[in-house]
Chains A and B, each alone.
Chain A
């Protein structure tokens, strides 16, 4: 089936000159997310610039806002690691009183969202602020040099989950923040991957278009953290979808009985084995000497799909 490709605006809010690594996945997220946001704002309010960004501390904040430079062509503020959602709540409230039309975009990595920022995120969602929270998931604390977060997948090497005689690497299943967000019964929650930029773009646009809070969790490979060559970022992100490891879905108003899936094989059989995804990445290299760990990862993913209401086969 041909994927319908929506047009992507030529407007740029993420300017060249930022200091991200070559092949940086999250940098692609910044670029696409703001473009999508702008398009949604244009359609909704007639003003493509009708948004502001609250950014959590992390890679993308650090590489984009080194005083006296900035990579941002939108109003942008960074306060701390754990509070992007709370800061965005404040901005939204201020805009309401200023009579300013538009929406606030809060951005955090997996550390700033799944771990230290989870409470602020929950508060923002529960209070129904008109904010889109974008979690760029590179599956570890990459800003501080590759330490595990609660969003690090099972089996992955990080500097704080090293494989060794008594360890297979990260030994806990990944925390799926999108499901936690959906439990708040907010208008819109989605997962995405930069491996399918059009899907991500559409979802960001939709998130920006709904009235009230929305949450998008996007997979964004980290070149140094995942031990991949810079040119493989997109390929890896695509494989995450194609192997069934990264479900793409949308949950509206917390309705877990009507989850919409994207790129899901009709027969529930994923054609490419997870090993194809794992073998491209240095962070999973050690697993190939421990096939039982790969099997455990597969079991966890099948269980995740089961929770989402799908029986799947992973080759």
Chain B
């Protein structure tokens, strides 16, 4: 029987790692994810988890050790956040290019400067082009579930790409919630043992991995990563279906909430989705035709799902905790690409919110709705807005 325990998001991630039975875990402590390696150390120390835990001297070595272990053919896990993820940056491309299905939990945290340990998504968003699958959890249960899902998708032979699962710093990493821990047997059945056919450092059948690719081959290798990411769309949906059958919880590329007759839809990722759902309920009571949507999968980008969502609304307001300086938020720019050639499309607005752990309040959401309403009524509004700025200290 699945067990329900009240736990922090970090513990949920560690539990997911335990259930997935990786053979190697390599990690370096970083706020807010420190508890993940701590908890895994405990599991290993108590003999509850049969993994080699490498206490590396940096995140760069954490991911490098994971690449080594994965290249040697075993299931591999790590966790980090923010500067730690940034320090891994170089190797993230290599892990994807070498097609190693490493899974990484990330307590989404802001990047320096100024140094800030609190939540936004700039860390993972900055790694969006590395070739890693990206999932964002709304709550601690999702953090656990999505890590299991990430392993399954990453290891699928049609995909073979590494995956990162983000859950918001402190809002989830340090907040306790009831989490259902699935039975080990069911997880074993769901994931199976990882047996690589392309990456193994076996003296009985020596292969060379991580070659030099001349111009004659490099582009094709990169195309294969593109193709794998494209394949992942279908694989993720299949895995979501299977996950629902095995564990009873349903996931969607984009989860919709009261969108059916909406004129304004607020689209976001991560824990902010929970806030938006409540806010939508409140606005519906006031008679505002508003809905919410949550992007669970950011890479591959849910193109068809976003098109379908866009058809339902007149204003698509994207709320995101990241910024690409000089253009706008990442989700906004991606969504713009998806909708650019659609004949009918909603007005697309970008709201940059909650950077570095600033609370996203109902007051701020009212502001989002006010701007969206103006756009709806035909008034010209800016496309990118910073919401919740303390103008008095600028």
Contact = CB atoms under 8 A, between A and B. Distances in A.
A19 to B, nearest CB: 10
A74 B64 contact: no
A139 interface: no
Contact of B209 (A68, A77, A100): A77
Interface residues of B, number: 45
A180 interface: no
Nearest to B221: A67
B52 interface: yes
A269 interface: no
Contact of B212 (A47, A50, A66, A92): A66
A94 B52 contact: yes
Interface in A134-159: none
B214 interface: yes
A54 interface: yes
A97 B203 contact: no
Interface in A47-86: 47, 49-52, 54-55, 61-62, 65-68, 70, 72-80, 82-83, 85-86
A286 B66 CA distance: 47
Contacts of A52: 72, 201, 203
Contacts of B73: 94, 98
A79 B210 contact: yes
B68 A89 contact: yes
Given A90-B26, A94-B73, A49 B211 contact: no
A10 to B, nearest CB: 18
Given A52-B201, A52-B203, A90-B69, A76 B209 contact: yes
B60 interface: yes
A264 interface: no
Contacts of A94: 23-24, 52, 68-70, 72-74, 76, 201
A87 B90 CA distance: 14
Interface stretch (A121-129, A191-199, A210-218, A297-305): A121-129
A87 to B, nearest CB: 4
A67 B217 contact: yes
Contact of B211 (A67, A75, A85, A100): A67
B381 to A, nearest CB: 46
B206 A72 contact: yes
B57 A119 contact: yes
For this complex, into which size category does the number of interface residues on chain A fall? Answer: 35 or more
Contacts of B34: none
B202 A75 contact: yes
A88 B211 contact: no
A11 interface: no
Contacts of B210: 55, 65, 77-79
Contact of A73 (B74, B91, B206, B214): B206
B61 interface: yes
Nearest to B22: A97
A66 B211 contact: yes
A91 interface: yes
Interface in B11-31: 23-24, 26
A90 B65 contact: yes
Interface string A24-55: 00000000000000000000000101111011
Contacts of B5: none
Nearest to A71: B208
Contacts of A86: 56, 60-62, 64-65, 68
B236 to A, nearest CB: 27
B307 interface: no
B60 A120 contact: yes
B23 A97 contact: yes
Contacts of B65: 86-87, 89-90, 93
A82 B66 CA distance: 15
A120 B61 contact: yes
Interface string B61-102: 110111111111110100000000000001100100010000
A108 interface: no
Contact of B57 (A91, A93, A95, A122): A122
A67 to B, nearest CB: 4
Contacts of B72: 52, 90-91, 94-95, 98
A141 B213 CA distance: 21
A62 B211 CA distance: 8
A169 interface: no
Nearest to B57: A123
Given A87-B68, A89-B65, 18 more contacts: A52-B201, A52-B203, A54-B68, A67-B214, A70-B208, A77-B210, A78-B210, A79-B71, A86-B64, A89-B56, A90-B70, A90-B72, A91-B72, A93-B24, A93-B54, A98-B73, A127-B54, A127-B56
8 contacts: A54-B68, A67-B217, A78-B212, A86-B60, A86-B61, A86-B68, A91-B72, A93-B65
Interface of B: 23-24, 26, 50-52, 54-58, 60-62, 64-74, 76, 90-91, 94, 98, 200-204, 206-214, 217
Interface of A: 47, 49-52, 54-55, 61-62, 65-68, 70, 72-80, 82-83, 85-98, 100, 102, 119-120, 122-123, 126-127
